[in-house]
Amino acid sequence: MLNKAPRLKSTIKTKAKGNINVRPASEAMIELLTLLFLNSLAEEAKAKAFEEKSATIRAQHVRAVSKVGLCSQHCINNTIM
């Protein structure tokens, strides 16, 4: 397993809306949070594949987990606001 996602910093900067200045500490925090999210997504996809008795983690497992995770996070954000 890779210790660091390839080209993560450039991906974050290109996906950012507009021309924003991000301080180095904030950039590091964004990168760490992204890696943490990807790690948790991979763990959940692994569990989903195990539930379906599959030896391989497929795209369908990641999609199913991301839908549940994003929908639950969206519902939590709406109840707070």
Asked if the model's pLDDT at residue 81 lies above 50, the reply is no
Question: Which class is domain 28-80?
Answer: mainly alpha
pTM exceeding the 0.85 threshold for the entire prediction: no
**pLDDT mean over 24-41:** 84
Task: Between 34 and 21, name the one with better pLDDT.
Answer: 34
Task: Between 18 and 64, name the one with better pLDDT.
Answer: 64
Task: Between 42 and 13, name the one with better pLDDT.
Answer: 42
Q: Are 52 and 65 in contact (CB under 8 A)?
A: no
Return the domain boundaries, the chain: 28-80
Asked if the model's pLDDT at residue 54 lies above 60, the reply is yes
